[in-house]
Structure 1
């Protein structure tokens, strides 16, 4: 039985506040979280995203009122399917390290018609230790089939999902989320979800953080209204399933997958309240901030979400985008300048052509510039940028690139290092940059 609804995709605006939703009127208990008998014969369950004793401003938890208590499943066993490529250990064994600039052409869609989101996910790179709740992982997914009576959750960290091709129809314990390319979805640690593919084969990227949670960056002098605004984030409305079908729960735990069976849908939550809930965000709503005089403001102005580290001013991971905008800087080399960074930078492209790479960096592909490895615009971009008239103009129209940035040094999985789509000639992007130094000529 499904909860009756004319529109299953209902959302509540806001970010980081306290939300509540019920699929049946009166399903939320009034005045207390754990009454002796919950309305409609439901069971109360708390899902804690932080320790109980974390300060009120940082405490994250939600109460779920569900038909079956979630422990009602058979024991977890090692996941038996061999198709997935999820990796959780980023030590010297089984991973590769190199400071070389790396680029991948678009990752291919599997030829098989039965590869779902879980089995189509592969880890590219990562750092840290899930058992110590330290670090992150970067995954890509390429799927051809919907998850059928299967749900997935990660006990290791929060997942930020970036669809690149095809919408994702995501069932969660809190309600359904429909996510299209140019939208992102965050599903926190421990929340179960299932992914259907309404548009057929799908591809995208996943950033998983093992420590902390994503939050909006501090704005400082920018003021109250720049970058991503809280009102544009959306959490799902409750919608429940009451079935007696056999379901498989796939759990990512310490980087490994385990599977358990149960005789009911995991999406049987009739009501919930709290601030630990999945959400989505439309990247087109990002309020861009930029320079209107000369030179560049730092790329941190493009940060949508951050997962802060224990070191002030640094991040386990930042999610950064490069959206359509005006550029008006005077007497300035306008593309991203050449630089070396104390952060690791993984970039992906959702659609269009990235402003600093005129070829080779394609939608569905990726690049990785490791800590202190030099990088910047390619030869074609440099040539055009140094000759163009510096009139005000638009940049990045019809395109959307993004970056996962981290304070950690990332190690590649063998799958990523040896992948057939790895572009071994990426270094040639800078070979043709002309050397124009002339000690007799002063700057214009």
Structure 2
């Protein structure tokens, strides 16, 4: 409840004949009504005017926001992008919505099964404008610049090294304070949740207590004010007008909310004997598919930690994978590729495309005197991993002009070390 209106939550029922303060009750459902109790997601909003009062939606230009996964031919190569360009405010005002660019994705919003990776670059706040994603959830990863997100549930300040999730249908506006950049993982048809811990036990990874939700906050602006509501629906953008602020929720209760999380609170699990554990031990959130153990998308981070494994090549091993792996860098230098992979850029290693540490990393770590050491100090890299075979958009391959066409060269210096006369007592 906003403290300006104590007692705004009805007592004993969700939908009274007359709500306190003359408010309207409105339910926001994030799951089917008949889902099992543990999976049933909904919140009750008590607002000054209901969201149904608006003019008709009309089509809006999508810019470089896309769900056309066939606009260019498939490309199975290892792909890496230099930091994505932020338009200078002196050149053009760009807010969060107009600064959205789709990099890659797969699936279909209509059939409620899919994923998309977007980049946002902006330099201006959204004024009298809000955004609603009817297709799925947004997991936002700020990389440069803090963002103040106003939602129907209240406000959240989200800084680099934090993430936030804005679930399907939630209306929000983004204020920025200069040149701003980040990444977005969008999933259709399911919601993000904490991964099961299995043999890890009750504690570890991201703890539920560390996730934060907004406190109710409202504005009552109805006279002489025109708000624009932008709706992402079936991959396209639409807009409508209304004469009041969408952020007029005086009180709410429920379990379907926006939320944020500080990545520094992640409790790292790591190898303490030998070999290299799979990156699944770094999963913060997962969006499950209908196949047990297979995710539509996982959000994975590689935070500062201790490396103590003995007789082991400690960086990530060379591998091919039945998953798509998009990586981004919030800050610092990624341990397996200290050159070329930069904060604000990204890489995509598609299904069964080989990848791994560059030649310099291999040489250095193959001959290192292994001692306990801090790994990734001052660094935060992350991965969007998906069971979908993601297609790259035309913007990602051509228009953004940030594709590093020399990426493959980081592996060319790898040498043949094979020695047919090797014996166990020799090195």
The TM tier, using the shorter chain, reads over 0.9
Q: Whole-Å Cα distance in 2 between the matches of residues 50 and 324 of structure 1? A: 36
SS in 1 for 2:105: strand
> 1:433: Cα distance to partner?
1.2
Q: Which residue of 229, 240, 251 maps to 1:271?
A: 251
| Residue 142 of structure 1 pairs with residue 121 of structure 2 | yes
Once structures 1 and 2 are overlaid, which stretch shifts more, 103-112 or 151-160? 103-112
Aligned to 2:354: 374
CA contact (8 A) 1:140 1:205 kept: yes
Distance 1:248 1:22, change over 3 A: same
Aligned to 2:147: 168
| Residue 284 of structure 1 pairs with residue 264 of structure 2 | yes
Q: Whole-Å Cα distance in 1 between the matches of residues 4 and 68 of structure 2? A: 40
> 1:247: Cα distance to partner?
0.5
Aligned to 2:159: 180
| Residue 122 of structure 1 pairs with residue 101 of structure 2 | yes
Q: Which residue of 49, 64, 79 maps to 2:45?
A: 64
Q: Which residue of 241, 246, 256 maps to 2:219?
A: 241
Q: Which residue of 51, 76, 81 maps to 2:57?
A: 76
Normalised by the length of structure 1, the TM-score is: 0.93
Q: Whole-Å Cα distance in 2 between the matches of residues 308 and 261 of structure 1? A: 36
CA contact (8 A) 1:124 1:413 kept: yes
Normalised by the length of structure 2, the TM-score is: 0.97
SS in 1 for 2:213: strand
Distance 1:64 1:389, change over 3 A: same
Q: Which residue of 290, 295, 299 maps to 1:319?
A: 299
Q: Whole-Å Cα distance in 2 between the matches of residues 327 and 24 of structure 1? A: 52
Distance 1:325 1:259, change over 3 A: same
Q: Whole-Å Cα distance in 2 between the matches of residues 26 and 165 of structure 1? A: 40
For structure 1, the residue ranges without an aligned partner over 5 or more in a row are 1-19
For structure 2, the residue ranges without an aligned partner over 5 or more in a row are none
Once structures 1 and 2 are overlaid, which stretch shifts more, 339-348 or 111-120? 111-120
> 1:442: Cα distance to partner?
2.9
Aligned to 1:228: 206
RMSD value, Cα? 1.1
Q: Whole-Å Cα distance in 1 between the matches of residues 25 and 2 of structure 2? A: 14
| Residue 157 of structure 1 pairs with residue 146 of structure 2 | no
Aligned to 1:11: none
Q: Whole-Å Cα distance in 2 between the matches of residues 197 and 442 of structure 1? A: 62
SS in 2 for 1:196: strand
Q: Whole-Å Cα distance in 2 between the matches of residues 132 and 193 of structure 1? A: 25
SS in 1 for 2:306: strand
| Residue 351 of structure 1 pairs with residue 331 of structure 2 | yes
Q: Whole-Å Cα distance in 1 between the matches of residues 354 and 49 of structure 2? A: 54
1:258-315: CA deviation from partner (whole Å, max 9, x where unpaired): 0000111000000000000000000000000011100011110000000000000100
| Residue 437 of structure 1 pairs with residue 418 of structure 2 | yes
CA contact (8 A) 1:96 1:417 kept: no
Aligned to 1:398: 378
CA contact (8 A) 1:96 1:414 kept: no
Aligned to 1:4: none
Q: Whole-Å Cα distance in 1 between the matches of residues 314 and 354 of structure 2? A: 18
Aligned to 1:5: none
1:349-389: CA deviation from partner (whole Å, max 9, x where unpaired): 00000000021100000000000100000011001101111
Divergent runs of 4+, >3 A:
20-23
Q: Whole-Å Cα distance in 1 between the matches of residues 183 and 209 of structure 2? A: 25
